A and B are shown apart, each in its own frame.
Chain A
Amino acid sequence: GQQVMQIPQYQHVQEGEDFTTYCNSSTTLSNIQWYKQRPGGHPVFLIQLVKSGEVKKQKRLTFQFGEAKKNSSLHITATQTTDVGTYFCAGPKLYGNKLVFGAGTILRVKS
């Protein structure tokens, strides 16, 4: 079945350092979505990428979708304490509708 792998599982950074999480799917995805879950909260949608090779930015966050539509990355520039949480990627496989999530990357930021 479809698998979505995400690395690293956990990262602890100093405030101001950059952070990147990577997502890889075993199958081609029709789109890739990223979510953020604050501690004790529920996942909240950040962005969706649809096109092969697409890059989107939201302030300090940069999202990329691979050319083969099987991998993606989220990069945060100059992390802040407000970035703390778990970041998930998710995607339905091509021609499918099941939204499958990666295991998530837990980000902790030291001030």
Chain B
Amino acid sequence: IAGITQAPTSQILAAGRRMTLRCTQDMRHNAMYWYRQDLGLGLRLIHYSNTAGTTGKGEVPDGYSVSRANTDDFPLTLASAVPSQTSVYFCASSDSDRAGEAFFGQGTRLTVV
């Protein structure tokens, strides 16, 4: 089924540990995004990529890194997790250089303890 796949669905992580959230899309979209969703704060952009090989910082990039080695994959890494990174993380993609309709993955619920 075409779309975006995120893994894992949920994770409990000890503070200080490294974690990579995976995101894969099979729609050949140019642009990909990572958001975190926290109650009352909506969806905040962490990092984005306009095309394979390029990435950019969003609103809340600190503590996170991304890579875009190919069109399909856009992993998000937490180098050393902290409790404030407890959140629901959504990956999204869109098929336009000017940010058209975005398709979202099912989300990863991450708890840092």
Interface of chain A residues 32 through 54 with chain B (CB within 8 A): 33, 35, 42-45, 48
Cβ–Cβ contact A9 & B59, under 8 A: no
Please, how many residues of chain A have a CB less than 8 angstroms from a CB on the other chain?
25
When distances are taken between beta carbons in the complex, the residues of chain B under 8 Å from A45 are 101-103
Cβ–Cβ contact B45 & A99, under 8 A: yes
Q: How far is the CA of A33 from the CA of B41 in the complex (A)?
A: 18
Question: Size class of B's contact patch?
Answer: 20 to 34
Most buried by A among B43, B58, B101: B43
Select from chain B the residue with minimum beta-carbon distance to A6: B42
Main secondary structure on A side of the interface with B: loop
For A61-93 the 0/1 string (1 means CB < 8 A from B) is: 000000000000000000000000000101110
Which B residues are closer than 8 A to A by beta carbons? 31, 33, 35, 40-45, 48, 50, 56, 58-59, 90, 92, 94, 97-107
Which A residues are closer than 8 A to B by beta carbons? 1, 6, 9, 30-31, 33, 35, 42-45, 48, 88, 90-92, 96-104
